[in-house]
Amino acid sequence: MNLEPRVPTPEDFPGPSHSPLVAARLGLWLGVAFGLCFVTGLLSHFIQHPPGWFTWPTRPVNLYRVTQGVHVLSGIAAVPLLLGKLWSVYPRLFVRPPLRQPIRLTAHVLERVSVLVLVCAAFFELVTGLFNVAQSYPWGFFFPTAHYAVAWLVVGALLLHVAVKLPVARAALRTPLRRQQDGGEAATTGRDGRDSSERRVFLRTSAGVAGVAVLATAGVTVPWLRRVSPLAWRSASGPQGVPINRTAAAARIAVPPDWRLEIIWPGGRGTLSLAELTALPQRTAELPIACVEGWSASASWTGVPVVQLLRRLGAPTDRPVRITSLETDGLYAASTLPAAHAGDPLTLLALRINGEELSPDHGYPCRLIAPSRPGVLQTKWVARLEVLR
């Protein structure tokens, strides 16, 4: 008997789940999940850092809530799909390719490196995303910048991977499940049927686990799923029935007793006390707080429409407006309302939530609430509005 250690080959892993069909099916589903993540993530990035050509509509009011919910939930679905896919293809680590021509060697090395980049970058995106929804940052880099940059790596490496695997994937997906692999001998021994049903079970289990993971967390943003989503990391609970990420104490907010809202526009300036703001015509609207971390919750907000306030003061209503908070050192101490949002009658300087005066944690004395906008841009503890040129 030869007891010398031997490097295994893919043939040493004959399990039906290690087939090109399983790799291609799971790859297809992963491609959809990562595609959704990429498009919705890009939208969220552009909303927060808009290039000149980008505009984001104010309606439907839940639009950002939906796109960011899809972003986080498709990322969650991708976790079991990625694990299933890697289980399916790991025997390919042991392929020993013939390296006869130098040109082949270069192409081969590049392809191997791109697969390594794809796997590492895909894991990085999913793991950092999960830590982010848990609001935990056990690393030294700035999460949004790293997550955004690595997303491009995933997409680049994924496109290359699909291009390389397209012939195998096409052939595998075109062949009916029961005729995969094996050939005639298997058909006569009955192994063919057993293998195809094992492949089906593996694929269904992977899809099922992804579905359960989504269902277990979707209540974070879909109100009617809250009862069946035990792992939703946020619900409708929080001060005044709406969750918050940053308390007034954490932001070290001290509202001066003589607080006045300052409004500045090209060629003019005005101030209003809280009593004067409260005396203005108010509007009540049902609008969501939709966080970049995927959770969202609707509330009934009452306040002064920004457009009416500007009109009343004689300020222009067709320009972007910079909103500044009393917060001095937070990342989100100021935000800019694009012209479309500033001119929308549903964009409010809110004074009340669900019929009550805003609590300090929700932004007392007044906060911004605008339709279809990330929560980090709904500036709290507002001190100043500045109409930009």
Closest to ligand HEM by CB, 156 vs 239, is 156
Contact pick of 36, 61, 117, 122 for ligand HEM (by CB under 6 A): 122
**Nearest residue to 219 (alpha-carbon basis) of 239, 235, 240:** 235
Closest to ligand HEM by CB, 171 vs 331, is 171
User: Per rule CB under 6 A, is residue 341 in the interface with ligand HEM?
Assistant: no
User: Per rule CB under 6 A, is residue 75 in the interface with ligand HEM?
Assistant: no
Closest to ligand HEM by CB, 121 vs 385, is 121
Q: Residues 185, 186, 189, CA angle at the centre, nearest 5°? A: 90
- Distance separating alpha carbons of residues 276 and 289, to the nearest angstrom: 26
Contact pick of 76, 169, 299, 387 for ligand HEM (by CB under 6 A): 169
Closest to ligand HEM by CB, 167 vs 281, is 167
Token pair recorded at residue 151: 């997303």
Residue type, 230: P
| Shortest spacing between CB 214 and ligand HEM, in angstroms | 17
Other CB atoms within 10 Å distance of the CB of residue 227: 9
User: Per rule CB under 6 A, is residue 272 in the interface with ligand HEM?
Assistant: no
DSSP 43-109: HHHHHHS--TT------STTHHHHHHHHHHHHHHHHHHHHHHHHHHHGGGGG------SHHHHHHHH
Closest to ligand HEM by CB, 82 vs 289, is 82
Considering only residues 15 through 54, tell me which ones interact with ligand HEM, judged by CB under 6 A: 20, 23-24, 27-28, 30-31, 34
Give strand ranges (E) for the chain.
Answer: 260-265, 268-273, 283-290, 296-305, 321-325, 334-337, 348-353, 356-357, 367-369, 382-387
| Shortest spacing between CB 113 and ligand HEM, in angstroms | 12
Q: Residue numbers of the site for ligand HEM (CB under 6 A)?
A: 20, 23-24, 27-28, 30-31, 34, 82, 85, 89, 92, 115, 118-119, 122, 158, 161-162, 165, 168-169
